[in-house]
Amino acid sequence: MAPSIRLSPAARSLFDEPLAIAVQGLGPRQQVTLRTSLRDETGELFQASARYQAGDDGELDLARCPALPGGSFAGLEPMGPLWALQPQKPFWRLVKRDVQSPFLLQLEVFEGHGERPGRLLARAQHERAFLRDGVRRVPVRAGRIRATLFLPPGEDIFPGIIDIHGLGGGLFEPRASLLANHGFATLALAYYQFEDLPQEPKELQLEYFEEAVNYMLQHPQVKGPGVGLLGFSKGSEVCLAMAAFLKNIMAVASLNAPVAATCIPFSYKDKIIPTVTLYEHKAKATNSKFLDYSDIIDDPFQAPGNQSRIPLEKAEARFLFMVGQDDRVVKSEYYATEVCKLLQAQGKENFQILSYPGTGHCIDPPFFPLYHIGSHPVFHKRAVLGGELGAYSKAQVHAWSQIQAFFKKYL
């Protein structure tokens, strides 16, 4: 029988779901190379390859067979062919703009372990989708709000989450769409550089975000009495400011957050939180010739930086701080630890910190490729963002399950 690739689910799976990969019909203990490829929406290619040896029965099941040294990863890593994908164009990030279409994953099995691929033995393709059947994508243009609401299948009411992305502007939908597959009504909220929103806001008015909270709570399919917030980087900082000043915020999951206003000040009614000072000259060169910006922000726990700190002690919400120990953009572990000490000193126990070794600034949903060197969100120069492939892949899976468990518990 000719070699063939067996996948489960066979034709299509969600991007954050595991995919079981096996090859059958090989010779006993035959040596092969498995290559996976995926093109993003701009046509850029991401690839990974791994070396394997089939079992005595000619079966190669990635759940039981470790990858041998010499490929993109080694060891027993059933999802390695997905999380080890790396761009052929240096410093390119895998981004999904249109969540209504899947990514197409190509899998190929080649003979042998040579530097150049041997004879092609088998190939398959598989769709990695962002929306499960029945999830609704609803563009929202209500009042000032510019957003997309993702609703799980059915007519029930669901816990509501507002998902806010980092610096860079625009409307970012992949994380919100994936969360909706897990039973959350999720609003992906833009706040600048999108349609008629400001291109370069002088301040972020929390009234805009309050409108989004009210929109969610008035929606017939959103379960009250409050909402959850999920933020990354600057978006996380926005979520913390919302929790400090706005009502009806029940739970905040924060990924690598600055705990002070950075780059754009916040305003609410007559209150302004000024931005903390950034000192670009404090960027450090690394062995890799890329800059490490982790030390450039004024300490928000010491004067004068503390005028910019978000007053989280005023918040009623529960907090889940997820931090990468190798974050080279924000000292997120230090910030989370210090802010929780302040909360504790006020007699509060409304927080938890999850700290991930080998994980940098970007903590995406599972199986997105590691983006560890890229453009700095403020200075737009090549920068070390941090993270290491194997550790990061495990952090993604763990953080994603914890985010869902946290919102299930507190919403």
**Catalytic annotation on 165?**
no
The two tokens of residue 81 are 């062919």
Contact partners, residue 182, CB within 8 Å, separation at least 6: 152, 404
364 is catalytic: no
Contact 277, 305 (CB under 8 A): yes
* Rounded to 5°, angle at Cα 380 from 377 and 383: 80
247-265 burial: b if 16+ Cβ within 10 Å, else e: ebbbbbbbbbbbbbbbebb
Q: Which amino acid is at 281?
A: H
Does residue 13 carry a catalytic annotation? no
The catalytic position among 126, 165, 219, 361 is: 361
DSSP string across 67-130: BBTTSS--BS-TTHHHHT-EESSTT-----S-TTS-EEEEEEEEES--SS---EEEEEEEEEES
Contact by Cβ (8 Å): 172, 188:
yes
**CA–CA distance from 218 to each of 17, 67, 186 (Å)?**
32, 51, 14
Cα–Cα distances in Å, from 182 out to 83, 107, 186, 337, 379? 21, 27, 10, 30, 36
- Spot the catalytic one: 37, 233, 254, 267: 233
Q: How far apart are CA 80 and CA 367, in angstroms?
A: 9
Q: Tell me which of 16, 163, 298, 327 is the catalytic residue.
A: 327
Q: Which residues are marked as active site?
A: 233, 327, 361
